[in-house]
Amino acid sequence: MTEENKRFTKGIIKKREDLTNDLWKIWIEPEEKLNFVPGQYCTVGYNDIERPYSIVSSPNEDLIELFVELVPKPLGNLTPLLYELNIGSEITLRKKPKGIFKFQSQFKNHIMVSTVTGVAPFVSMIRSLDFNQTDYNIWVFEGASYVDEFGYLNELTSISQKNKKVYFIPTCSRPNDPKNTKWKGKIGRVNEIFNSICNLEKADKENTIIYACGHPDMVSDVSEKYSNKFNFIEEKFWKP
């Protein structure tokens, strides 16, 4: 076995769902099963360009699900190539998913703050939990400019309705845009609303952890305000 074969496996795109003209989901069937912990990322390659993507699927799912945002050229490198791929296309995957952005089971209260595709690792975490066997309180916040960017709105809403200790709070930062006229949910930037909703001033800081994943500016703002006050973990790789 060559050194390359030891590190890489092939992946076939089995399904694709386009949400907008620059946002889509893909499901990849790896030639060899990837072993990962919810919250970790896999490294996808095509035409010798590689980038990390947080895994949406849970470890017990057969396909690797990704939530991808297109960054056009010249800034974008891999995403413009992935955007052109269809069902049956072949990509490469590094065999070992990585990352320390994992569910921290030692805490009771979990506040997950994300923007658009940054919700991916949180979906993986929540899909993997057995809420009949756990006693966690979980808040999932997702911010987006437009309502069609909430890629897991129905799934997370359904989970929160079925589980009294799971709260899903999507928020739209451009409520006056014509695309958002039917939006009836929260409005404002996600990093500015979760404090009051979770009542952080009265929170049990020792038993609470804040996660932030998504746009670097959002992650940096949340980190600056809360990383010295709460248990905190972040993910902000941003390579197009």
Do 89 and 116 have their domain in common? no
Do 89 and 143 have their domain in common? no
From 31, 59, 94, the end of a domain falls on 94
Do 167 and 223 have their domain in common? yes
Closest listed residue to residue 98, CA positions, set 56, 32, 55, 42: 42
Do 118 and 229 have their domain in common? yes
Q: Give the domain extent around 61.
A: 3-94
Which CATH number is 118's domain given? 3.40.50.80
Give the chain's domain count: 2
Rg (CA), the chain: 18
Do 67 and 116 have their domain in common? no
Do 145 and 85 have their domain in common? no
Domain membership flag for residue 161: yes
Q: Walk along the chain (240 residues) and give the pLDDT tens digit of each residue.
A: 455 678 999 999 999 999 999 999 999 999 999 999 999 999 999 999 999 999 999 999 999 999 999 998 888 899 999 999 999 999 999 999 999 999 999 999 999 999 999 999 999 999 999 988 889 999 999 999 999 999 999 999 999 999 999 999 999 999 999 999 999 999 999 999 998 898 888 889 999 999 999 999 999 999 999 999 999 999 976 655
Query: How far is CA 24 from each of CA 40, 69, 71, 160, 236, rounded to the nearest angstrom?
Result: 19, 7, 12, 23, 19
Provide, for the chain, the percentages of residues in helix, strand and coil under a 3-state DSSP scheme, each rounded to the nearest 5. 25, 35, 40
φ and ψ at 29, to 5 degrees? -100, 110
Domain membership flag for residue 99: no
Which CATH number is 64's domain given? 2.40.30.10
Do 209 and 120 have their domain in common? yes
Do 221 and 134 have their domain in common? yes
pTM: 0.95
Do 168 and 64 have their domain in common? no
Do 66 and 164 have their domain in common? no
Domain membership flag for residue 213: yes
User: Cα–Cα distance between 96 and 154 in angstroms, integer?
Assistant: 31
Q: What angle do CA 223, 20, 80 make, to 5 degrees?
A: 80
Domain membership flag for residue 188: yes
